[in-house]
Amino acid sequence: MTSAPAAGSPDRPAPGEEAAPGAVPVRLDLEGDLIALFRAICDVPSVSGDEKALADAVEAALRPYAHLEVVRDGDAVVARTNLGRQRRVVIAGHLDTVPLTDPPNLPTRVVGEGAHAEVWGRGTVDMLGGVAIQLALAAELVEPAQDVTWVFYDHEEVAANLNGLGRLMRHRPDLLAGDFAVLGEPTAAGIEGGCKGTLRVEVATTGVAAHSGRPWLGENAIHAAHEVLDRLAAYEAKEVEVDGLVFREGMSAVAISGGIAGNVVPDRCVVTVNYRFAPNLDLAGAEAHVRDLFAGFDVRVTDGAPGARPGLDAPLAKDFADTVLALTGGQPAAKQGWTDVARFSALGVPAVNFGPGDPLLAHKDDERCPVGHVTTCHAALREWLTR
């Protein structure tokens, strides 16, 4: 296997698209070296909100393949076979990344050789290795055993209302219809079932403003926040078994704000709390739990997304797990974060996470993905789609 330089090469813009002045269109070679493709994708900066160049490249790369119907929605691209198979599988991955470091952790570089080689750079873990696998297989598999819908979407790393998969659910739910879905999020080449839900709330304390030279004339709202923090410090997170997998919950203060000036006793303080809950709870249940914990305080919900049960008891999911684990070993585990498997679950489509990269390295400055993860996931997914 070679690791060719990843820079895109000049090419004409995709049909109906014009390159921005001074921009160099990118050509992705879907039939060449897989790791070179992986690096080429990563080397197109695609921070959330700036996915257009990569979406253009993905669309242009897929359109020449006659066995694929290609649909563009904003900066999401969907390609699917229509072979009349009895079952349809949806395989999805997001194109965006979190912001680059300073100095930028792009272009990618390869560190090590052979089995120990790793690709370093933004997006290598979360989750452009999965996208590279999707693109290579979309081009190669002209007659897969099931019909396949390949989804490449935008805005996953930001607010839920911007999510490109959510937009497709609203605009074109028919494009996401299927019997089973695989999300290429990083799982270190293992299978992670379901995901935890997430709820973000603001817990407010109030006081009475006063001059800080005469604090006895006021009541300090920041001081009052100690009770919120004490309850969080004493909180014992549960481990909850759902469909045979164990989800570890968490309740964390993620921000605190208060005060208007250095000489004013603050009359308001807000502690932002994030609750990650097992998928046996729905959003209403999660909110009730948080309000109970912070009884006596003003609690305002600012964001939330339900989790997803593992779904590994569905026939296609079981078949997928059996095939993949025969090649990779190990056992399915619970996804301890939130992923878009929850969106598929909401559509009634069982879904799992399966992709290259250690999820503990996602978003880190030293983000890096073993080459072996990419090749293993590619081989396992190809085996399942062709058997």
156 is an active site residue: yes
**List 126, 154, 156, 267, catalytic entry:** 156
340 is an active site residue: no
CA distance 378 to 226: 50
Distances (CA, A) of 326 to 244, 293, 310, 338, 383: 20, 44, 19, 27, 11
**List 51, 56, 96, 157, catalytic entry:** 96
Residues identified as active-site: 96, 156
